[in-house]
Structure 1
């Protein structure tokens, strides 16, 4: 999907304190072999802070940086996966809107897993094209009953929030194109009932066949998504200076994907991601915020943001940096 007059006016992030993974290894919480395979150095941990309150903090900073008239804000879109808090809050998007904005606006919640921020970006761009200013937020915090270092062998879930303000006519980056591909045919992968099979071996065989088919579809969808976004943006992979990938562990990196699109570590923000962990859908916005805050992008740079929701939704956004932000900070 091509975009014309849609600009990123600003962005911001609110992260927890960095917890060194070595401490988790020493405490027996994190398998050292998995640590070595994935390459994380530290994880953002928020302590007692609620996810929604971190989104409020990020939104306030992004709105202030954007210099938009709050009266022009027409929609807040909040992307999340897990419980948001505080207790008694039934609709996190409305909570973020009410706490970060002294006025009325639409408040929409997006739950598309780790593709949430890209989905919000595409929906927000539609509102901007209709004349609104859009505030996009994402937030998540580990609330599992187990241990964040054991729950997901592909990444370590982190705590944090992001915010982005979209508007027309001017900004730090222009949105060139977005693409989202969804494929829900395998959403019932775990619904296979072992009782339907005569023995465990037959069950495993059926499960394996389903997983192999799913993985093939996932790979095709991810590649097709990026190809379509680049085509709509009228750029090639070689024109992209920065690739903002999800902060999954290094063992999970799709080497064939990186080879096709000429992606090496120097063109990603993995040096930041390895110190933060996986922030659900917020990873690419954290990456973009980092690049802008530290001055690591130059006017004319093209940037790709990627989202991947558990294999069932893939998102890609292509932007061009058009101005140097006035809000660079030291981190």
Structure 2
């Protein structure tokens, strides 16, 4: 979707301290072979820090950098993947109580790793439809759980990291312009992340271990023809999605200065996407993400903040953000840098 006059005025991040792969190998959580093959070096681990707290801290940083009063926001969209608190309780209202107040629409998105893309697209259209205003999109996850082995549940291309990001959008001005955002789903691959698990009772309610690798293996074994056909369709769909957001932004792939993708192995990022686009690894977020792990819906925004704060971007540059998530959905967005704000700095894990 082509967007008219939607700007990013603030970004906030919260990334907890990291645990290196050496410790994971010593504990038997990860094999040395997987670590060497993937090139991944660690994961941000939040421990007992609640995901809504990380969302609050990222949101506080975002509104401070945007120079807006939290109470002036018109919509709040909160994306997450894993359990954020007690069942039947919703984390966006935590942010309303402690940050933004009650006089706005607050909603939770469950779009997996593409949650921030969906939030950016929906928040932008909400602001355009109402003739202007200010929005916040937030993503936060803490996957620390005895039911999750963050080092192996997505092997061999991912380890799961924890963290939060927040973006303040408005329709008047900012350090960057959101020029396009869109998503497409390949629904015949819905079962790839479900495997042979029943939908009821939900696995977490009966203590079932979460293992995406096992589910994907089962789906591929049971659905060889579907996997082959749909896998090729997924590659085609992702290519179409990228072409769409670039066209809507009015640029070509040669005008992309940096690309931000899901944090994953070098092979996943380089062979799986960059080679297709003709973009070298050093123009991607791989080196940044390899030590943090896959931060749920926060990978691309955290990477954008880090690129901005480490001298990788200057006014006039375009950043292509691409994501893939269970569904299977693919999403993308193009951001044009208008200014490098004084607050920009490297995204550093908190001690």
* TM-score, normalization by structure 2: 0.86
In 2, Cα distance between the equivalents of 1:229 and 1:180?
9
In 1, Cα distance between the equivalents of 2:21 and 2:62?
30
Q: Aligned residue for 1:237?
A: 253
Q: Aligned residue for 1:150?
A: 152
Answer yes or no: is the 8 Å Cα contact 1:229–1:316 preserved in 2: yes
In 2, Cα distance between the equivalents of 1:329 and 1:235?
27
State which drifts further: 275-284 or 70-79. Answer: 70-79
In 2, Cα distance between the equivalents of 1:222 and 1:149?
27
* Equivalent position SS for 2:315: coil
Q: Aligned residue for 2:215?
A: none
Q: Aligned residue for 1:110?
A: 109
In 2, Cα distance between the equivalents of 1:321 and 1:270?
20
Q: Aligned residue for 2:47?
A: 47
* Equivalent position SS for 1:29: coil
In 2, Cα distance between the equivalents of 1:205 and 1:265?
32
Q: Does 1:211 align with 2:214?
A: no
Residues 52-111 of structure 1: CA distance to partner in whole angstroms, max 9, x if unpaired? 1101110011011101233430111011110012x4771112222322224422111111
In structure 2, relative to structure 1, the CA distance for the partners of 1:40 and 1:226 (3 Å cut) is same
Cα deviation for residue 204 of structure 1 reads 7.8
Residues 215-250 of structure 1: CA distance to partner in whole angstroms, max 9, x if unpaired? 112111111100111111110101000100110222
* Equivalent position SS for 2:151: helix
In 1, Cα distance between the equivalents of 2:153 and 2:47?
18
* TM-score, normalization by structure 1: 0.91
* Equivalent position SS for 2:223: helix
Runs of 4 or more consecutive aligned structure 1 residues displaced over 6 Å after TM superposition: none
Answer yes or no: is the 8 Å Cα contact 1:82–1:143 preserved in 2: no
* Equivalent position SS for 1:316: strand
In 1, Cα distance between the equivalents of 2:324 and 2:220?
26
* Equivalent position SS for 1:266: helix
Residues 35-66 of structure 1: CA distance to partner in whole angstroms, max 9, x if unpaired? 11111112100111011110111001101110
Answer yes or no: is the 8 Å Cα contact 1:181–1:314 preserved in 2: yes
Answer yes or no: is the 8 Å Cα contact 2:264–2:286 preserved in 1: no
Answer yes or no: is the 8 Å Cα contact 1:295–1:328 preserved in 2: no
Residues 263-303 of structure 1: CA distance to partner in whole angstroms, max 9, x if unpaired? 21111121110111001111000101112233321000001
